[in-house]
Chains A and B, each alone.
Chain A
Amino acid sequence: MESPGIIIAFWVLAAVTVGGCLMVLVARNLLHALVFLVLAFLGMAGLFVTLSADFIAVAQILIYAGSIAVLMVFAIMLTPLAARDNANSLYLLPALAAGLGIAGLVSVVAVITPWSELKGDALGQSDPVTTVSAIGDLLLGRYVLPFEVASILLFFALLGAIVLVHERRGPREGS
């Protein structure tokens, strides 16, 4: 973590990610906000790479920047008459207060806490060459029960989404 490339990459990626999040907040058009959301997801994937979490970075790009962004595009396109502007509601000021409060509190606690963290050479030695095989071992070993529960959750989410948007063409439906 001491090499200058990692430090520069961290600052650039952090700026891109936080800037993308801010643009999601202030963009007037909902589709523009979605584009900045994808930018923030990609910046976050870069931050995962600087933390040497290669599998998580690839999964982030595939799931967040890929499928969830496409799902949101479909949801925006399937609601054509709804307002496309990214307007704020009456609760902007309380929301700003809550967000600033949470961010400030967590930041102060994170900075003043003396974490027992790895530094320098110990950090480099703890790096695995690749995380994929270790994650696979953990998923099918120690965490096999949550893994199966997650698969059941995904199946029922898929089923629920299909049932929800399925158009029933029957005599009991008026429209």
Chain B
Amino acid sequence: MLGLSVTLAHYLVVSALIFGIGTVIALSKRNAVAVLMGVELMLNAVNLTLIAFSRFSSAFGQNGQPLSGHVFVVFVLTVAAAEAAVALAMAVLVYRQRETVDLDRINLLRG
């Protein structure tokens, strides 16, 4: 199936690998900034999926809107930038209050 020419499945497999690695980073890292890196990688993998479908799928091309996937990626980029700004501001704020950004030491709500 994965022959010599590059098809849609190649891009989807690369995207799945990046999403899996991003999941591992987001779930297993201790530092809040490292967790954010994992989330950004997952968003990036979804972007690659959207662009690959927009390029290869014949279903989108027939409707005269072949670039809707690109527009979706623009919105994902916007939300990712907003999320990174707010999350990093929260990391700095938590560091000021608690002197740490380790997620397993931020346990104010533990009873």
Contacts and interface: CB of A to CB of B under 8 A. Distances in A.
Interface in B92-111: 92-93, 95, 99-104
Given A150-B75, A160-B89, A164-B86, A6 B23 contact: no
Contacts of A74: 88
If over half of A's interface residues share one DSSP class (helix, strand or loop), that class is named, otherwise mixed; here it is: helix
Given A91-B28, A95-B27, A146-B75, A115 B57 contact: yes
A7 to B, nearest CB: 5
Interface residues of B, number: 81
Contacts of A129: none
Contacts of B2: 111
Contacts of B68: 138
A3 B12 CA distance: 20
Contacts of A165: 89, 92-93
Contacts of A118: 56-58, 61
Contacts of B66: 126, 128, 134
If over half of B's interface residues share one DSSP class (helix, strand or loop), that class is named, otherwise mixed; here it is: helix
Interface in B53-100: 54-59, 61, 65-68, 70-71, 73-75, 77-86, 88-93, 95, 99-100
B89 to A, nearest CB: 4
B29 A89 contact: yes
Contacts of A10: 6, 10
A106 B48 CA distance: 14
Contacts of A112: 1
A56 B51 contact: yes
Contacts of A107: 12-13, 16-17
Interface in B10-67: 10-31, 33-34, 36-38, 40-41, 44, 47-48, 51-52, 54-59, 61, 65-67
25 contacts: A18-B21, A53-B51, A59-B77, A60-B44, A60-B47, A63-B77, A68-B84, A71-B85, A72-B88, A79-B91, A79-B95, A86-B34, A89-B28, A92-B28, A96-B24, A99-B22, A104-B16, A107-B12, A110-B8, A118-B58, A134-B66, A135-B74, A139-B71, A150-B75, A157-B82
Nearest 8 CB-CB pairings of A with B: A103-B20, A157-B82, A110-B12, A95-B27, A99-B24, A106-B16, A95-B28, A161-B89
Interface of B: 1-2, 4-31, 33-34, 36-38, 40-41, 44, 47-48, 51-52, 54-59, 61, 65-68, 70-71, 73-75, 77-86, 88-93, 95, 99-104
Interface of A: 1-2, 6-7, 10, 14, 17-18, 21-22, 24-25, 30, 33-34, 37, 40-41, 44, 47-48, 50-53, 55-56, 59-60, 63-64, 67-68, 71-72, 74-76, 78-79, 81-83, 85-92, 94-96, 98-100, 102-104, 106-107, 110-113, 115-119, 122-123, 126, 128, 131, 134-135, 138-139, 142-143, 146, 150, 153-154, 157-158, 160-162, 164-165
